[in-house]
A and B are shown apart, each in its own frame.
Chain A
Amino acid sequence: MDNTFTPIEARKPPSSAIGPIAWMKESLFSSPVNTLLTVFFAYIIIRFIPPVLDWAFISANWVGTTQDECTKSGACWIFIKQWSGQLLYGSYPEELRWRVNLALIGLVAVVVMQFFLPQHLRRRVGWVSLLVYPLISIWLMYGGLGLETVSTDKWGGFSLNILLAFAGILMSLPIGIIWALGRQSQMPFVKVVCISSIELFRGVPLITILFMGSVMLPLFFPAGVQLDKLMRAFIAITLFQSAYMAEVIRGGLQAIPKGQVEAANSLGLGYWKTMRLIVLPQALKISIPNIVNTFIALFKDTTLVLIIGLFEILSTIQAALQNSNWLGGHHIEGYVFVAFVFWVFCYTMSRISVHIEQKLNTGHSRS
């Protein structure tokens, strides 16, 4: 006889507690009200999703070049296909579009560099690339110095949205930092100037600032100075964005414990050295998620430049819908496509922002 103790094998939980049935019981039919809601939403999904999928994919028209080839009942994606060049590049000359591509690739490279370069390189190369990239991309886009000149009224499409948003954020960063520091300053006059600039540009709609840029700015410059439309829109966007950026950075500045400044002062650092070496690196780091969030907002707001007559993606689609070859009412296809493009970009960036926030959180708690 073997007298060793052999425990009885643990019994499995009853089938009512695990498995899909139990999950459904718990999270779909836990109460009469929940059951009712589940049935209601399930009905709506079953009623509407298949027709939408059918419209978008199964009976959609994919092949062809003209409106007449859209014979099937679904979406006419040929419309988007035919206009895709315009939607991305506007009226930028077709044989020169590689320059826009190069500028966009450079943009991606610069952004990626900020996050993935090894620490010791990031310090030097990162900042330098942020300063040098705009010059190179302006040269690529506008021309000169051996490249054929392309005037700004030819720029357009989604590339314009991207470049405007990125230029706006890059330009608003230094202005926002100065305004935010000024807002916290001990000097009463500087403080008043900064607070009123921030509150003015944050309290009014972007449209009014764009209008200001398009009808008032030309009056501000001496006669003879011509500012082109894109430049005026860019100035307006920068002012608007700087106000938001200042508030974001103020949030970061306020989160830095006072002891940091005091410690820096006791080491004999002056105001600018304290800010540059101690406070701002920490404040900017914790502001990154919110900077990304304002960037998303700005990116969506770049569509507003259509109101002052720039051909970004939304006004390109409006123009395409008015085109005499495509008068078949492709509004839904057009808007769904543009919405999808924006959605992909904004959703990805908001995920990145959440990711950075989590990453920064752990970094903070360990220290």
Chain B
Amino acid sequence: MQTNKSKNSSATPKAAFYNRAEVRSVVFQVIVFLGLAYFFYTIYNNTMTNMEARGIRTGFGFMSQAAGFDILLSLIPFEATDSYGRTFFVGLLNTLLVSAISIVFATLLGFLVGVSRLSSNWLVAKVATVFVETFRNIPLLLQIFFWYFAVLATLPGVRDSISVADSIFVNVRGLSVPKIVWSDGAGIVFYALLAAIAGAFFLSRWARKRQENTGQPFPTLWATLGLIIGLPLLTFLIAGSPASVEVPKLQGFGFKGGMTLIPELVALTVALSVYTAAFIAEAVRAGVQSVSHGQVEAAAALGLPHAKVLRFVTIPQALRVIVPPLNSQYQNLIKNSSLAMAIGYPDLVAVFMGSTLNQVGQAVEIVFMTMMVYLFINLTLSMFMNWYNARIKLVER
């Protein structure tokens, strides 16, 4: 290439210096770099002058000062005397909590609705369509307000709670459910669970290898399920059932015992799950429809029963189309969980960017930290989903 070029250049007139692509590229990039450098330098200067004028401190020293406010819900022990740094982790854990619960529900509901849209039952398909078209086209914030202010706020008071089997109670203060209390010696059940998961992993590897070598199938699904559920259960019984169920009981003005989910959490979970489920349902429908009809017919012609056609032919191929949009829906859900602030659920944005920022006033540090957290969570999730996507994608020669 290089030699060719130089040979030709003697024959044809050489492009002017300033017209050569490489030169232009370098010049252009230098201009962009200088422009950006000037831009950021100005911003930095202005910010410094402004902060000095307003008496705002810089740096992360505030993280160790006492916060002085209470937080409605905290997964780790928190008191008003704890530091601002701790408010960050309390908020972060609350964000992760509501996101994790909602992702599970949204996925289940989304798959159910998506498959229902393709049902041969006309009524079921129509109901699923109405579900999707309704919840997809209404702003999420409005749905959160609806569940929180219009539905949950009209529930009966504590004394007239709606109860299910005298163990689950719904009232205006939230949802009270029974809690499992682990007593001494429960640790062994946990270890048994870990052992079972490891065992299931090696079992499925062995089973796959055997099928590749000998062609003999092994009921991997049932065996691993049995192992993961059976082994901990067995140790639990042998260890003498080191756990008890604590049912919430009405005492005075509230419920004692059990676990109480605050209405903010319930409203946010319901709204996020339903809204995201509508989008997941569309992705699932598109995925299932992308599997060509011939595939299913061919599988049927080979004599595979309906369940096996689904498991070995339809689902693996549909998943390839479903996983990428599913990934972006999960990311959207995590980002949308920040709407918690509007109803006062103490998530990262509400606690750290709301209360802490209000008291400390160090906008630059706090906004930057919060943004980085969301970026980090989303990139991690994205990496995991990309790994999963690579695992299930079509192996081509």
Interface residues of B in 329-382 (CB under 8 A from A): 331, 335-336, 338-339, 341-342, 349, 353, 357, 363-364, 367, 370-371, 374-375, 378-379
Check B32–A207 contact: CB distance below 8 A: no
Determine if B211 is an interface residue (Cβ-Cβ < 8 Å): no
A203: contacting residue among B53, B124, B138, B378, CB under 8 A:
B378
Partner of A189, one of B33, B146, B150, B339: B33
B53, B137, B150, B349: the one within 8 Å of A205 (CB): B349
Contacts of A85 in B (CB 8 A): none
Task: Verify if A96 is at the interface (C-beta below 8 Å from B).
Answer: no
Tell yes or no: B133 within 8 A of A by CB.
yes
A37 touches B25 (CB 8 A): no
Given the complex, which residues of A lie within 8 Å of B198, measured CB to CB?
Answer: none
B250 at the binding interface (Cβ < 8 Å) = no
Instruction: Tell me the bound Cα distance from A314 to B134 in angstroms.
Output: 18
* Contact assessment for B120 and A34 in the assembled complex, using a CB-CB cutoff below 8 Å: yes
Q: Is the CB of A207 within 8 A of B121?
A: no
> Which A residues are in CB contact (< 8 Å) with B371?
200, 204, 208, 212
Assuming the A-B contacts A37-B121, A208-B370, A215-B363, are A343 and B375 also in contact, with contact meaning beta carbons closer than 8 angstroms in the complex?
no
- Please give the distance in Å from B337's CB to the nearest CB on chain A: 8
Given the contacts A187-B25, A220-B47, A347-B133, A314 and B142 also touching, CB distance less than 8 Å: yes
Q: Could you say which residues of chain A place their CB within 8 Å of the CB of B349?
A: 205, 207-208, 211
Tell me which of B51, B121, B127, B141 contacts A303 (CB under 8 A).
B141
Interface of B is mostly: helix
Interface: B49 (CB within 8 A): yes
Does A222 interact with chain B (Cβ within 8 Å)? Answer: yes
User: Once the chains bind, are A187 and B28 in contact (CB under 8 Å)?
Assistant: yes
Query: Is B300 positioned at the interface, with any CB of A under 8 Å from its CB?
Result: no
Contact in complex: A207, B124 (CB < 8 Å): no
B32-59 interface code vs A (CB 8 A; 1 in, 0 out): 1100100000010011011101000000
Say yes or no for B140: interface residue by CB 8 A criterion. Answer: yes
What bracket does the count of chain A residues touching chain B fall in? 35 or more
CA–CA, A204 to B348, complex, Å?
12
CA distance A321 to B148 in the complex (A): 14
B253 interface hit (Cβ, 8 Å)? no
From 108 to 124 in chain B, residues with beta carbon under 8 angstroms from any chain A beta carbon are 119-124
Chain B: how many interface residues by the 8 Å CB criterion? Answer: 55
Expressed in whole angstroms, the minimum distance between the Cβ of A27 and any Cβ of chain B is 4
B375 touches A204 (CB 8 A): yes
- The residue of chain A having its C-beta at the shortest distance from the C-beta of B30 within the complex is A189
Question: Quick one: given A208-B353, A335-B146, A339-B142, are A219 and B364 in contact (CB under 8 Å)?
Answer: yes
Q: CA separation between A346 and B371, bound complex, in Å?
A: 29
Interface residues of chain A: helix, strand, loop or mixed (majority): helix
From 133 to 181 in chain B, residues with beta carbon under 8 angstroms from any chain A beta carbon are 133-134, 136-143, 145-146, 149-150, 153-154
Residues of A within 8 Å of B146, CB to CB, are: 331, 335, 339
- When distances are taken between beta carbons in the complex, the residues of chain B under 8 Å from A203 are 331, 374-375, 378-379
A316 to chain B, nearest CB (A): 12
Binding site for A on B (CB under 8 A): 25, 28-29, 32-33, 36, 43, 46-47, 49-51, 53, 119-124, 127, 133-134, 136-143, 145-146, 149-150, 153-154, 331, 335-336, 338-339, 341-342, 349, 353, 357, 363-364, 367, 370-371, 374-375, 378-379
Given contacts A223-B46, A303-B141, list 9 more A-B pairs with CB under 8 A. A34-B120, A189-B32, A208-B370, A215-B363, A222-B46, A304-B141, A314-B145, A335-B142, A343-B137
7 pairs of A and B residues whose beta carbons are closest in the complex: A346-B137, A27-B122, A205-B338, A215-B363, A205-B335, A331-B150, A300-B139
18 contacts between A and B (CB under 8 A): A27-B120, A27-B122, A28-B123, A34-B120, A37-B119, A203-B331, A203-B375, A207-B339, A208-B349, A219-B50, A219-B51, A223-B53, A307-B342, A314-B139, A318-B145, A331-B150, A335-B146, A342-B139
